[in-house]
Amino acid sequence: MNERLPPIAAVAFDLDGTLVDSAPDIQHALNAALKKAGLERFDLDTVRGWIGDGPDVLIGQALAQLGQGAADGELRIRLRRWYDVASLAAPLSLGQVYPGIPALLIALRQRLPLAVVTNKPTPLARAVLEAAGLLPLLRRVFGADTAALRKPAPALLHAAARSLGVAPVRLAMVGDSTLDLQAAAAAGCPALLVGWGYGALALADRRELHRVDTPAALLDALLTARHASEPTTTRE
């Protein structure tokens, strides 16, 4: 990270690839849906590269890879329904919370209001967070329940800022992908890129980014920015 963040008063976290390594669970849900449709399944590395834009785009990526990019809407609807069933049945049975994340959220929650802003639909996001034991540490969860809400659109970050009672410029967006950075820029939020997620490697040469490589470094950056936002007092 080249320089300090501007003053902040709240934090919005991406979910998949930022708080939790849920790629194995996403792969399982996708492959369960594809199997029910009699379609070929995909390995973990392939699915990991598709994560970030929500289940509808994920399913579209799989169909395109199978040469069925023009598949009818009914097939897509069925695949999404089967995907949701598999996801809700086992939201985080194969993946894990990234090491250091629970301690990070516990340290932050008494100092800053916290939210999740994700391209996962809200019910799936809440299920993952509950399975991870993280849901009680968060003030709100904002999922992309319609296509128009998906990052890089700024709508979810604007909603989070309103809900947490801060201006967007005081809401830090923490994520692992280009979509997170683009959404933050569109919303007028400062952004931090975590080095452990799915998309961070592709952004390794972006030296201008606020980048942190461990949850401990993220905590330090956020608390430093939070202290910078507090008014100073002087004694006469």
Q: What is the DSSP letter of 16?
A: B
Q: Is the peptide bond before 231 cis (omega within 30 degrees of 0)?
A: no
**169 φ/ψ sector (left φ>0, alpha ψ -120 to 50, else beta):** alpha
Decide if 14 is catalytic.
Answer: yes
DSSP state of 146: S
**CA-CA distance, 118 to 153, in Å (whole number)?**
11
CA 115 from centroid of its chain's CA atoms: 10
Catalytic option among 14, 21, 25, 176: 14
Residue 176 near residue 17 (C-beta atoms within 8 A) = yes
| Cα 24 from Cα 30, distance rounded (Å) | 10
Q: How far apart are CA 147 and CA 201, in angstroms?
A: 26
Residues 109, 13 contacting (CB under 8 angstroms): no
Q: How far apart are CA 176 and CA 179, in angstroms?
A: 8
The sheet with strand 10-13 has its strands ordered as: 140-143, 114-118, 10-13, 171-175, 191-194, 211-212
Residues recognised as catalytic: 14
